[in-house]
Amino acid sequence: MTNFLLKPSLLRLFAQDLRDFTHNNTTIGLKFLSSLSQTPQSTNDPTVDYLIHTIGLSKASALAAAKQIRLKPTAHPDSVLALFNAYGFTPSHIASIFSRRPSLLLANPDTTLKPKFEFLSRNGISGNFLADVIDRDPLILCRSLDKQIVPCIDFLINFFGSTDCIVSLFSTAHRTRVLHTFSEFVAPNIEVLRANGVLDSNIAKLLWMRPIALSRDVEWFTDIVEKTRERGFNPSSLMFIHGLCTLSSMSKDKWLSKLHLFRSFGWSDEQFQSMFLKKPFVMNSSEEHLKRALDFFVIKWDWTWEDISKYSLLLNFSLEKRLIPRSSILQHLISKGFIKRKSVGSALNSPEHKFLEKFVMKYLSEDPNLLEMYQEKKKMALCERSEAVGLCAKLDLRTVIC
């Protein structure tokens, strides 16, 4: 065996080369492993793999969707996707729609889906708007074209007089509910309203405000219409629609609980009824909010039921964003003799720009710190209400909104 000694300089060079080799190959290995982790791997499940690699779902979403469908050799999912692409649906639309309604991949693109796309497109729901509408409510494509979609669209065009109104109506998801059960519920419920003397112009308001009520069981809806009449609303007035929307949005128990709340503040049933007929949407607020608002006006301003009833709309407003900070400024102005207490109701009720103009900017010459005080009061009210410890530190006076 031949023995030899490496010179120190050669030894150092060899050691450096070894370190470089180790470092470089480790880096390459880590990058390779990282790339593997970022690339979706086959799950040995054709349905899940298709949802991941073709539709673009995450593995978790694909697994959830695969519980609803199984792709079979007889299915034509590629043809379905080709149809969606042809009508301008983006990859984002497609992933969103099929994650929630994967069963659409099993639909026949030519006999089931395409006729619906064609009909909707001919009636003003086309292009990007079509994609957005279906994305918000993909269940539309699961409804019968002849029994639901066609009669509903035809009715709406005749009712409103143009397809432009349909575009506006379907700009939010909840209004497309009328397409789901038009023949079973919506059309009969509209006839119930007409039979009770409700004008078509007010039915149109209901379609905009609370179409979900029209989509309910006819017996239930008829009962709500009757209850609205019993509350004293005139069916020919627009306020009847407001009352119906309010009564249809809560259970009997919730209604009685809110009624008991007003009684606990000394209101008689007649006083409550008088307010409700004028401002039925007051009851749309939660019971907790109503209690806090009633406490606020009774304790802070010593208001009677007449005062609260006169400005009952204030019961719907946010205490933190509007009522508390404005009240602090108004009390300050009253103490300075700038305004009278009788101005409080209209001041709290006025739009923000009007409040700033009439009760803040107007008095800056006498009280230069008034605007800063108002902003600080808004910040403090939000902080005191919040349960989050760090919220106050994050609030910026310049971004506090009313």
pLDDT tens across 214-235, in order? 999 999 999 999 999 999 999 9
Extract the tokens encoding 259. Answer: 């009624």
Confidence of residue 28 (pLDDT cuts 50, 70, 90): very low
Res 383: pLDDT: 85
pLDDT of 34 over the 80 cut: no
398 pLDDT more than 90: no
DSSP 331-365: HHHHHTTSS-GGGHHHHHHS-HHHHHHHHTGGGTT
pLDDT on residue 381: 85
Mean pLDDT of 183-191: 96
Distances (CA, A) of 54 to 59, 70, 106, 111, 352: 12, 15, 15, 23, 50
Tens-place pLDDT, residues 342-362 = 999 999 999 999 999 999 999
Q: How many helices (H) and strands (E) does the chain have?
A: 23, 0
Tens-digit pLDDT profile for residues 117-128:
999 999 999 999
DSSP classification of residue 315: G
Is residue 41 pLDDT above 90, yes or no? no
Which tokens sit at 116? Answer: 């619906």
* 74-83, 101-110, 145-154, 194-203: the lowest-pLDDT one: 74-83
Residue 394 has a pLDDT of 53
pLDDT of residue 24 exceeding 90: no
pLDDT at 350: 96
Query: Which residues neighbour 163 within 8 Å (Cβ) at sequence distance 6 or greater?
Result: 123, 124, 157
248 versus 13: the higher-pLDDT residue is 248
Q: Could you report the per-residue pLDDT of 167-182, keeping only the tens digit for each?
A: 999 998 789 999 999 9
Taking the model in full, what pTM does it have? 0.77
Q: In which band, very low, low, confident or very high, does the pLDDT at 402 lie, cut at 50, 70 and 90?
A: very low
Q: Do 376 and 360 contact (CB within 8 A), yes or no?
A: no
70 has a pLDDT exceeding 70? yes
The owner of tokens 């249809």 is 248
